[in-house]
C-alpha cells in the first residue's frame, strides 16, 4: 500500500482540528499569566476578526528588562458597504476610548479597526460591538471578508443596488459556525439538535483570504482591480442597472526578492444579470476553495489560481457549476479611484460631506483636528448616517438641508477640513509601525512628513493643485494598494522604500518599480526632477502616471522591467 504524504500547509491542519474555529481560544482567554494566546489560536482568532500584536516601539526596552512583549489585540469590524448609524458610531467611539488606544482606524476596506485592546478587555469590547448590532466575524482569516460597495447610495438606484449586493454577499458567505457567539458573547454551545456545519466552506475554509467589492462607474473608489472578486455596475442610458461585469484575480501582496509573488490587476471575466450576482459570487469563491493552493500560502490567492489554470478554464468551471453560460463583459469606464471631497447634494435633496481623514486615523490631534471628538459631536446630531470609504475616509451622509449648517459649524470648530491639500486628498498609507508585526518601515507615522516635502516640490513646479495619487506601505504586502497609485512607496527597510511609478489615475494599471531601496533624500530629489519634467512636458489633461509612461520613465515591456538601484544604476529585473 502506498502511503500518501499530506503536503498541506500547517494552517490547514489548524483549521481542520479547530472544531469550526474554536481551538483552545476560550481557555486561552482565561490564562492571565500572559497577554498572548497560543500560536495556533493566533491563527484561528483571525477568523473572529482579531490579530495578536505587540507594541514594537516597546520591544527593545521590554526585552532588556526580560519582560514579555507588550501584547494587545487589533480588532477589525465587518461593516459591509461601510454604513454606520449615528447610534452605532457613538458605541464605537465609546469602545475606542474605553478599551482601545483612543482611536478608531478607518481602513482601506471600508471598515474600522481598534488597536491596543488587551486580552482581559477583549470580551467586553466584543460585547459592546454586539450591542451596536455589529460584529467582527470573518473580518480576517481564510474566508470572504468585508465586502465593499461604492458609496453614496442615495445618489442613484445603482448605488443602492451596489450596497444591497455587498450586504447580500457578505451575509450569504458568512461562516456558519457558532464559535464567535459562543466564545465572545458566552453564547449557547450547540448541544444536541442539528449538527453544526459549514455547508459552503467545509472544515478547512478557503486556502487564503478572499476579498470582494462592488463598484459603480465612473468612480473606481473601491479599487475593483485590486480584489479577488469584483462586480462593476453596468448601467443603461437612463442610469439604471442592467447587470454586473464580474472581475476576478486582483491582488496586491508580494514579497521582496520572490518574483513568483506579484501584484496583479483583476481580469474582467463575464457579465451577469442582477439576479445572478450572489450565485456567481458563491461559485467563484467555491472554485477558488477547491482549486486554490493549500500547500503554499504564498501561492494560494485566487490571482495565482487564475494564472495557473487560465481565465478561460476558470470561467468555464464557474459556468459549469452554475449550469449556464454568461455573456461576455460589457464596456465600462472609470475616471478615478479616489473620493469626492466636500459637500455634494443628492437627487433627493439630501446632503453628503466627504471628509479627508489622514490615514484613516480618527483620534484627537493636540493642536490640530480633533477627529474623534468632532465626529462624536456630529454623531450626536446627525439625521443621516456615516459611510466609510475604501480610501480610509468618512462621509457624513444623508444630511437634511436644515441640519447641514450645524454640521458645518462642528466641522469648523474641530478643524476637520484643515490640511487637505490635493496630494493628501489622494493619499493613503497603511498602519505599519508600531502595531503591524510585518512592517519593515514606517508608513502612517511617516507619510505626512514626506508629503510636506513633496508638496514644497510640487508647488515650486506649479503643481500644488494637481491631483496625483500617492500611497505608502511599510512592507510589500500592499495594504494601501500602492502598486496602483501613481506614486507608490513600499517599505524595504528602516527609512528605505521602493518607488513605483506609472499606474493609472483610475486604478486600472499596475505601476513598475522605478527606484530600489531609496531614502528620503533620494526619493524627494528623484520625484522633484520628475515633477519638473511633468510640469513642462505634459499634454492637456494628462495624468502624472500616464505621463511617466509616455515620457519613457517607466519601462513597460512585458518581458522585464528596468529600475534604478540604490547607486543610481539602471538595472533589468526579470519579469
Catalytic residues: 76, 145, 209, 211, 430, 436, 475, 479
- Report the interhelical angle of 277-291 vs 157-172 (nearest 10°): 40
- Site track for ligand SRM across 97-136, x = CB under 6 A: ----------xxx-x-x-----------------------
**Shortest distance, position 275 Cβ to ligand SRM, whole Å:** 27
**Shortest distance, position 477 Cβ to ligand SF4, whole Å:** 4
Whether 217 and 232 have beta carbons less than 8 Å apart is answered as yes
CB-based contacts of 422: which residues, under 8 Å, 6+ apart? 464, 465, 466, 467, 468
175: cell is 461562516
Cα(189)–Cα(238) distance, integer angstroms:
52
Cα(254)–Cα(482) distance, integer angstroms:
11
- Site track for ligand SRM across 152-191, x = CB under 6 A: ----------------------------------------
Whether 388 and 362 have beta carbons less than 8 Å apart is answered as no
Q: How many CB atoms sit inside 10 A of residue 368's CB?
A: 13
**Shortest distance, position 51 Cβ to ligand SRM, whole Å:** 5
74 binds, among ligand SF4, ligand SRM, none (CB under 5 to 8 A by kind): ligand SRM
CB-based contacts of 190: which residues, under 8 Å, 6+ apart? 178, 182, 196
For the chain, helix (H) and strand (E) counts, in that order, are 17, 22
**Shortest distance, position 438 Cβ to ligand SF4, whole Å:** 4
438 binds ligand SF4 (CB under 6 A): yes
User: Segment 451-480, which members bind ligand SRM (CB under 6 A)?
Assistant: 477-480
- For cell 513598475, the residue is 512
Among 72, 103, 146, 398, binds ligand SRM (CB under 6 A): 146
- For cell 437612463, the residue is 238
Q: Judged by CB under 6 A, how many residues of this single chain contact ligand SF4?
A: 13
Q: Is 531 strand, coil or helix?
A: helix
Backbone angles phi, psi at 418, to 5 degrees: -75, 145
CA 146 from centroid of its chain's CA atoms: 9
Cβ closest to ligand SRM, residue 42 vs residue 533 = 42
CB-based contacts of 447: which residues, under 8 Å, 6+ apart? 359, 427, 429, 470, 472, 489
Element (H, E) at 513: strand 512-518
- For cell 520625484, the residue is 527
CB-based contacts of 195: which residues, under 8 Å, 6+ apart? none
Among 392, 443, 498, 511, binds ligand SF4 (CB under 6 A): 443
Q: Judged by CB under 6 A, how many residues of this single chain contact ligand SRM?
A: 32
User: Segment 63-102, which members bind ligand SRM (CB under 6 A)?
Assistant: 74, 76
Among 284, 410, 436, 499, binds ligand SF4 (CB under 6 A): 436
140 binds ligand SF4 (CB under 6 A): no
Whether 231 and 246 have beta carbons less than 8 Å apart is answered as yes
139 binds ligand SF4 (CB under 6 A): no
- Site track for ligand SF4 across 456-475, x = CB under 6 A: -----------------xxx
Query: Which region among 55-63, 182-190, 342-350, 433-441 touches ligand SRM (by CB under 6 A)?
Result: 433-441
Q: How many CB atoms sit inside 10 A of residue 234's CB?
A: 21
428: cell is 493613503
Cβ closest to ligand SF4, residue 438 vs residue 575 = 438
- Site track for ligand SF4 across 473-492, x = CB under 6 A: xxx-xxx-------------
Cβ closest to ligand SF4, residue 82 vs residue 476 = 476
**Shortest distance, position 108 Cβ to ligand SF4, whole Å:** 9
Cα(364)–Cα(98) distance, integer angstroms:
15
Q: How many CB atoms sit inside 10 A of residue 295's CB?
A: 12
User: Segment 268-327, which members bind ligand SRM (CB under 6 A)?
Assistant: 301
CB-based contacts of 38: which residues, under 8 Å, 6+ apart? 23, 24, 28
Whether 93 and 380 have beta carbons less than 8 Å apart is answered as no
Among 216, 431, 503, 561, binds ligand SF4 (CB under 6 A): 431
473 binds, among ligand SRM, ligand SF4, none (CB under 5 to 8 A by kind): ligand SF4
End-to-end distance of the chain based on CA atoms, in angstroms? Answer: 43
Among 126, 174, 430, 527, binds ligand SRM (CB under 6 A): 430
User: Segment 350-379, which members bind ligand SRM (CB under 6 A)?
Assistant: 360
- Site track for ligand SRM across 191-230, x = CB under 6 A: ------------------x-x-----------x--x----
Residues within the interface to ligand SRM (CB under 6 A)? 51, 53, 74, 76, 107-109, 111, 113, 145-146, 209, 211, 223, 226, 251-253, 301, 360, 392, 430-431, 435-438, 477-481
Residues within the interface to ligand SF4 (CB under 6 A)? 430-432, 436, 438-439, 443, 473-475, 477-479
Amino acid at each position: 500500500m502506498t502511503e500518501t504524504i499530506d503536503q498541506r500547509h500547517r494552517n490547514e491542519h489548524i483549521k481542520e482540528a479547530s472544531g469550526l474555529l474554536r481551538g483552545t481560544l476560550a481557555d486561552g482567554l482565561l490564562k492571565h499569566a500572559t497577554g498572548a494566546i497560543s500560536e495556533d489560536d493566533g491563527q484561528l482568532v483571525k477568523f473572529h476578526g482579531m490579530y495578536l500584536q505587540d507594541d514594537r516601539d516597546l520591544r527593545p526596552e521590554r526585552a532588556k528588562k526580560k519582560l514579555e512583549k507588550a501584547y494587545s489585540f487589533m480588532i477589525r469590524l465587518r461593516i459591509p458597504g461601510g454604513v454606520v448609524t449615528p447610534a452605532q458610531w457613538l458605541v464605537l467611539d465609546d469602545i475606542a476610548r474605553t478599551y482601545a488606544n483612543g482611536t478608531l482606524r478607518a481602513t482601506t476596506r471600508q471598515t474600522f479597526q481598534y488597536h491596543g485592546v488587551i486580552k482581559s478587555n477583549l470580551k467586553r469590547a466584543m460585547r459592546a460591538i454586539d450591542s451596536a448590532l455589529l460584529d467582527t466575524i470573518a473580518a480576517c482569516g481564510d474566508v470572504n471578508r468585508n465586502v465593499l460597495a461604492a458609496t453614496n447610495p442615495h445618489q442613484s438606484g445603482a448605488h443602492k443596488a451596489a450596497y444591497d449586493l455587498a450586504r447580500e454577499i457578505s451575509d450569504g458567505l458568512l461562516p456558519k459556525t457558532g464559535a464567535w457567539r459562543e466564545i465572545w458573547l458566552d453564547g449557547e454551545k450547540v448541544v444536541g439538535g442539528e449538527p453544526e456545519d459549514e455547508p459552503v466552506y467545509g472544515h478547512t475554509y478557503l486556502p487564503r483570504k478572499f476579498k470582494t467589492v462592488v463598484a459603480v462607474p465612473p468612480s473606481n473608489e473601491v479599487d475593483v482591480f485590486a480584489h479577488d472578486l469584483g462586480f462593476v455596475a453596468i448601467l443603461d442610458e437612463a442610469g439604471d442597472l442592467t447587470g454586473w461585469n464580474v472581475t476576478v484575480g486582483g491582488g496586491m501582496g508580494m514579497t521582496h526578492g520572490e518574483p513568483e509573488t506579484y501584484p496583479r490587476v483583476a481580469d474582467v471575466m463575464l457579465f451577469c444579470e442582477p439576479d445572478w450576482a450572489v450565485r456567481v459570487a458563491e461559485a467563484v469563491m467555491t472554485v477558488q476553495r477547491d482549486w486554490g493552493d493549500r500547500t503554499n500560502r504564498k501561492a494560494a490567492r485566487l490571482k495565482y489560481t487564475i494564472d495557473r489554470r487560465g481565465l478561460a478554464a476558470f470561467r468555464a468551471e464557474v459556468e459549469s457549476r452554475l449550469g449556464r453560460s454568461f455573456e461576455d463583459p460589457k464596456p465600462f469606464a472609470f475616471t478615478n479611484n479616489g473620493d469626492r471631497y466636500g459637500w455634494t447634494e443628492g437627487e433627493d435633496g439630501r446632503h453628503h460631506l466627504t471628509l479627508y481623514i489622514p490615514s484613516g486615523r480618527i483620534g484627537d490631534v493636540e493642536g490640530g483636528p480633533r477627529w474623534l471628538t468632532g465626529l462624536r459631536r456630529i454623531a450626536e446630531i446627525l439625521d443621516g448616517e456615516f459611510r466609510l470609504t475604501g480610501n480610509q475616509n468618512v462621509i457624513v451622509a444623508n444630511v437634511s438641508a436644515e441640519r447641514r449648517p450645524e454640521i458645518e459649524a462642528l466641522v469648523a470648530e474641530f478643524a476637520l477640513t484643515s490640511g487637505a491639500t490635493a496630494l493628501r486628498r489622494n493619499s493613503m498609507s497603511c498602519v505599519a509601525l508600531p502595531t503591524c508585526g510585518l512592517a519593515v518601515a514606517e508608513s502612517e507615522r511617516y507619510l505626512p512628513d514626506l508629503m510636506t516635502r513633496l508638496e514644497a516640490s510640487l508647488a515650486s513646479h506649479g503643481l500644488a493643485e494637481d491631483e496625483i495619487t500617492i500611497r505608502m506601505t511599510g512592507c510589500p504586502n500592499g495594504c494601501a494598494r500602492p502598486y496602483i497609485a501613481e506614486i507608490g512607496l513600499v517599505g524595504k527597510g528602516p527609512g528605505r522604500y521602493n518607488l513605483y511609478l506609472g499606474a493609472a489615475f483610475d486604478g486600472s494599471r499596475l505601476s513598475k518599480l522605478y527606484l530600489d531601496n531609496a531614502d528620503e533624500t533620494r526619493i524627494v530629489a528623484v520625484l522633484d526632477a520628475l515633477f519638473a519634467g511633468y510640469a513642462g512636458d505634459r499634454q492637456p489633461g494628462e495624468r502624472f502616471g500616464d505621463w511617466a509612461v509616455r515620457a519613457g520613465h517607466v519601462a513597460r515591456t512585458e518581458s522585464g522591467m528596468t529600475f534604478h538601484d540604490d547607486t543610481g544604476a539602471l538595472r533589468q529585473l526579470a519579469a
